[in-house]
Amino acid sequence: MSYDLPQRPRRNRQSAAVRGLVRETHLTPSHLIYPLFVLDGESRREPIESMPGIDRVTEDHALWEIESAMELGVSSFVLFPAVNDDLKDTKATYGLSRDNFYCRVARAIKKRFPEAWLMSDVAMDPYSSDGHDGVVREGHIVNDVTLPILAEMAVLQAEAGFDSIGPSDMMDGRVGVIRDALDAAGYSDTSILSYTAKYASAYYGPFRDALESAPKHGDKKTYQMDPANRMEALREAELDMAEGADILMVKPALCYLDVILALKELSDRPIAAYNVSGEYAMLKAAAEKGWIDYDKAMPEMLLSIHRAGADVILTYFAKEYAQLYGTWNG
């Protein structure tokens, strides 16, 4: 029996060759940013229990990680500092020191690999004894007092060689203040990849384990966004664009694919998405239990983020994806 059907979409699925011809979305290692957690000292790797395969590393191991990633085609990186508690205070003073190990590692990376693209993290929480992204006074996060601290931190990071500044704090007005500070200091070519829509998500737990940066009191809901809100992300995007952001980011990614699409349709700037630690951990855990085919599920996860509109993806899967990509295209 045969029917006179006007269209038969299955014709374009009959072989790997034709599926390749009509494939709409292509994700390469060059679309990925690989996050690294860096430590002070040397010759140390500290596994992060909640993020299998990811370690906190000292400068020497960070250089090795970057070299091995670049050999696979990943050339963009973001650094996060794991700071000892004895260096933390309420004003994030250590983050404003030219001699802090975070800036020192960045200088070493750019000296060894000048072709690598390096993104910073601008926020108080890695350096704050309060564990918040802004100055805390009487239990409140004080927005405008925080802004000059973030601007000073951004200039120091640009001076250390970071190609792009990543304000992750979600303070109002910080992109414009940082842009003005960078320009005034002579860093007009240093870009800003803004955490435009950073939600108060339950998926950040392993990251906070990695940096031991969870808030000491309260939560971050007065500055990170409500997961229920989509239009608010569009307002944040319009503000960040007006203030000079070069790339807009949504964090997390998987539960916010609709937000990624909305920003892509709104903006003429590239859109980034952060495939966060909890998303990484849950896939690793399911694979460890044998409940999912990791080598198929991991690329599918990243492809969905790219298909939704993310031009750039920050992901702990970057090296593993690049290895698989090499086998597909080798």
Q: Which residues are catalytic?
A: 198, 251
Question: Distance between CA atoms of 247 and 179, rounded to whole angstroms?
Answer: 13
Three-state DSSP class for residue 329? helix
Task: List alpha helices for 113-228, DSSP H.
Answer: 143-160, 174-184, 205-211
What separation in angstroms does the CA of 27 have from each of 33, 304, 325? 13, 10, 9
Cβ neighbors of 173 (< 8 A, separation 6 or more) are: 143, 144, 147, 243
Question: Distance between CA atoms of 36 and 28, rounded to whole angstroms?
Answer: 20
Question: Distance between CA atoms of 89 and 141, rounded to whole angstroms?
Answer: 15
Instruction: Write out the DSSP string of 112-124.
Output: H-TTSEEE--B-S
How many Cα atoms within 13 Å fall on the side-chain side of residue 98?
3
Q: What's the burial of 42, exposed, middle or buried (CB within 10 Å: 0-12/13-18/19+)?
A: exposed
